[in-house]
Homo-oligomer: A and B are copies of this chain.
Amino acid sequence: MAQEEVPSQDPALPATAYAVLGLLSFGQEVTGYDLRKWAMNMRYFYWSPAQSQIYLELRRLLQHGLVEVHLEEQKSRPDKRLYRITDAGLKVFRDWLDHAPVGPPLLKHSVALRLFFGHQTNHGRLREVLTEYRDWAVEQTNGLTLLRTDLDQALPYPALVATWGSAYFAAEITAIDTVLADLDRMETGQREQD
């Protein structure tokens, strides 16, 4: 067994690697560039890594024998590297899906953080920040509903996630409205405490 590609048993891959494997598990043959675009459609619930990171993960998966490449020459442009998942890769991915422990979502909500520290800011600015976030959330729901029409019957599980995402953003919007109303009450309530 010289230096042939031996699919190692427990590669202990980083989370991003599994995300890439999962995208490839849909069966298409795609480039790293394509993957990045797909990943951006998932940004609603899973933060997309930098583009350079995706290329790195693909190389790693290749070394582990979990994906395979086939080159497609292009004149005056870097050759296309079309990746496809291997049987070994599919097995590793399914093992991860079925056996990985359930972890909590990783959330860093900078807007909530700024509200938390509201005692150091002026209400005017705080209001701006919250409103801007609310607008952003509205945009996200719009983007998601657009996406969902594309998915619906063709990709049922992604469609479920899209529905979930819509509910999430809807909740954020009403939560912001509640906060905004509470801020009002705090301001006017300061002079008339019973």
Taking CB atoms and an 8 Å cut-off, the chain A residues in 102-161 that contact chain B are 102-122, 125, 129, 132-133, 136, 156-158, 160-161
Provide the bound-state CA to CA distance between A173 and B118, in Å: 28
Q: A98 to chain B: which residues have CB within 8 Å? A: 121-122, 125
Is A105 in contact with B109, judged by CB distance below 8 angstroms? yes
Q: A158 to chain B: which residues have CB within 8 Å? A: 116
Shortest Cβ distance from residue A54 to the other chain B in the assembled complex, whole angstroms: 15
Is B105 in contact with A108, judged by CB distance below 8 angstroms? yes
Residue of B nearest to A137 (CB): B104
Residue of B nearest to A128 (CB): B102
Interface centre among A42, A98, A164, A174 (most CB of B within 10 A): A164
Q: Is A25 an interface residue (CB 8 A)?
A: yes
Q: Is A33 an interface residue (CB 8 A)?
A: no
Is A107 in contact with B45, judged by CB distance below 8 angstroms? yes
**Which of B45, B94, B102, B110 meets A103, CB within 8 Å?**
B110
Is B109 in contact with A97, judged by CB distance below 8 angstroms? no
Q: A90 to chain B: which residues have CB within 8 Å? A: 120
Q: Is A22 an interface residue (CB 8 A)?
A: yes
Shortest Cβ distance from residue A193 to the other chain B in the assembled complex, whole angstroms: 10
If A175-B167, A175-B168, A186-B156 touch, whether A46 touches B119 (CB-CB below 8 Å) is no
20 of the cross-chain contacts (CB-CB < 8 Å) are A22-B120, A45-B113, A46-B107, A46-B112, A93-B117, A93-B120, A94-B121, A97-B120, A97-B125, A100-B114, A102-B110, A104-B136, A105-B108, A105-B110, A106-B106, A106-B107, A107-B107, A117-B157, A156-B186, A164-B179
